[in-house]
Amino acid sequence: MNSPTPTLDQTQDDLLERITPTGGERREILDPATGQLVGHAPVHGLDDLEAAVARAAAAQPAWAALGHERRSAVLLEAADAIDASAEALARILSREQGKPLNGPNARFEVGGASGWLRAAAATPLEAEVILDDGDVHAELHYRPIGVVGAIGPWNWPQMITVWQIGPALRMGNTVVVKPSEYTPLSVLALVEVLNTVLPAGVLEIVSGGREVGAALAAHPSIGKVMFTGSTSTGKAIIRSSADTVKRLTLELGGNDAGIVLPDVDPSAIAEGLFWGAFINTGQTCAALKRLYVHDDVYDAVVEALADVARAMPMGVGLDEQNVLGPLQNRQQFEIVDRLVEAAKRAGANVLVGGDPDRDGPGNFYPTTLVEVADHDLGLVQEEQFGPALPIVRYHDVDEAVALANSVDVGLGASVWSSDLVEARRVAARLEAGTVWINAHGAIHPMVPFGGAKQSGYGLEFGVEGLKALGVPQVING
Ligand code: NAD
């Protein structure tokens, strides 16, 4: 008799079993939608970090010696491995992070992880002839850095890990990953899948807390840290990396503004505005977090957006109908709750939501739209990082631009208009790393992405992203 084809759940269980620690300290990881056990993550410490860095350093010369073409081939095979385990990876991600399988969520994230890895593998990077005038022949090359540290957040744990490790590996570095303590299983599972293809030591993972991240950022054998997370942690990493003059790419917090100009068709942009703000239930660095709407179209835009918001199902991630999920952790739930409650006390008008069930089950905070007159409210000034969008009415575009630029972060921004020329003119005035027109947060593996102001520095994706994982070397002569 043939053995039965494994079901998707068995595959997921197999993968969870492979990453479950057999000894040492371990910790329970609970589903933020239900409180049920998802699995156990190892609690690695500083000795584990030392061992992982040593293995990565030992593996690096042979990995670099493979050259671009052979490394790219290995990385494409690793992307195939992600595709082959895509459903299991998506289910573990959904249960641990909370994001639904469907919508721009878990399956989308796993697809992004594979797609970005393919792009990092396939993007050509040729040496550039900088000057060749008869006297001087100067070429710019990029050498591997050595061992790279990759420290990640809990909101898009698998995709962001690939953003960090894909270009690092492609450029001949080996990597030690330190996932967020909130979502270690998603990243352990991803690394487990990638390591079915990669040579031993090329990709290491240390599943520890903040102290392990801090030690990685200070480690003398780490040449560069790729960090995605909050601005305050980014500042700590700058400090701990200073003594060894590490290279850094810092993708930090945002508080993105969207400006709706008076010539829009409200019903045509409502769904784009919704997903710009509420993708991943608002837990997205470059999500629309402050919406400025011109007086002329204010009522119509707000009404159209509220209609979309009310129709989007929120619930347990594994339920196929949902497109919004819980907040990943209680701390984040409390931040959103505190900011909305303070706005209410200050007289802001809640149009949709704002009434969470604080006794659970799960960290569900409802989709919330708040009309705000006072721009100094915390809900506007702080990165709320959840499903609560403040909406501000404006009369004059100069005023909207000034308000959009008034915070000290600048990751993304957007301008919404039927007039592309005017939209581009407004876009050029916004202090943000990316300004989208009639969209928000639409990223692409070949288009560079990075922050302005305290949203960080360095670019990811495309050729610029590869260059950031190499040491520039000029060969002159
Ligand atoms: P966080 O800064 O709390 O943690 C991120 C990672 O840093 C975790 O792995 C954590 O263990 C580690 N860490 C904590 N203290 C450290 C230290 N002193 N030294 C080294 N590592 C340390 O961020 P989070 O709450 O997980 O993620 C949410 C934040 O990330 C939001 O601000 C969001 O905007 C930002 N983010 C930015 C981008 C981007 O591309 N710019 C993308 C996603 C998330």
User: H helices of 203-313, where?
Assistant: 210-218, 231-241, 266-278, 298-311
Q: What percent of the chain has pLDDT over 90?
A: 97
Name the maximum alpha-carbon separation found in the chain.
Answer: 76
Domain ranges (residues) in the chain: 8-252+455-476, 256-444
**pLDDT grade, residue 11 (50/70/90)?**
confident
pLDDT score, position 2:
42
Give 19-25's long-range contacts (Cβ < 8 A, gap of 24+): 19/185, 19/188, 19/189, 19/192
Residue 379 CB neighbours (<10 A): 25
Instruction: Give me the count of residues in the chain.
Output: 477
Spell out where 26-173 has E strands: 26-30, 37-42, 128-132, 137-144, 147-151
**pLDDT grade, residue 7 (50/70/90)?**
low
As given in the structure block, the two tokens for residue 322 are 């949902």
> Is the per-residue pLDDT at 225 higher than 70?
yes
pLDDT tens-digit map of 366-380: 999 999 999 999 999
pLDDT tens-digit map of 186-215: 999 999 999 999 999 999 999 999 999 999
**320 part of the active site:** no
CA 308–ligand 1 middle distance (angstroms): 31
Q: How far apart are CA 90 and CA 430, in angstroms?
A: 36
Shortest-distance atom of ligand 1 to CA 250: 41
Q: How far apart are CA 98 and CA 358, in angstroms?
A: 17
Catalytic residue among 204, 251, 431, 460: 251
Name, in order, each residue with C-beta under 8 angstroms of 79's C-beta and a sequence gap of 6 or more: 114, 115, 117, 118, 121
Domain 8-252+455-476 fold is Aldehyde Dehydrogenase; Chain A, domain 1 (3.40.605)
Pocket lining for ligand 1, CB < 6 angstroms: 151-155, 160, 178, 180-181, 210, 213-214, 217, 228-230, 233, 236-237, 251-254, 285, 383, 385, 411, 451, 455-456
Shortest-distance atom of ligand 1 to CA 182: 26
> Is the per-residue pLDDT at 92 higher than 80?
yes
256-444: CATH number = 3.40.309.10
pLDDT score, position 1:
38
**251 part of the active site:** yes
> Is the per-residue pLDDT at 9 higher than 90?
no
CA 231–ligand 1 middle distance (angstroms): 8
pLDDT score, position 258:
98
**pLDDT grade, residue 3 (50/70/90)?**
very low
- Model pTM score: 0.96
CA 203–ligand 1 middle distance (angstroms): 20
The amino acid present at 82, given as its one-letter code, is I
Place of tokens 């991630």: 317
Shortest-distance atom of ligand 1 to CA 449: 40
Residue 368, H or E segment: strand 368-372
The residue-averaged pLDDT of 151-159 equals: 98
CA 169–ligand 1 middle distance (angstroms): 22
Nearest Cα to Cα of residue 254 among 226, 224, 225, 276: 276
CA distances (Å), origin 137, targets 130, 344, 442, 473, 476? 8, 66, 40, 14, 6
Name, in order, each residue with C-beta under 8 angstroms of 25's C-beta and a sequence gap of 6 or more: 42, 43, 45
pLDDT score, position 305:
98
pLDDT tens-digit map of 327-360: 999 999 999 999 999 999 999 999 999 999 999 8
pLDDT tens-digit map of 32-57: 999 999 999 999 999 999 999 999 99
Helices and strands (DSSP H and E) totals, the chain:
16, 20
Q: Among 2-11, 69-78, 83-92, 233-242, name the one with the lowest average pLDDT.
A: 2-11
pLDDT score, position 360:
82
The amino acid present at 410, given as its one-letter code, is G
As given in the structure block, the two tokens for residue 168 are 């690092």
Arithmetic mean of pLDDT over the chain = 96
Q: How far apart are CA 256 and CA 152, in angstroms?
A: 20
pLDDT score, position 10:
66
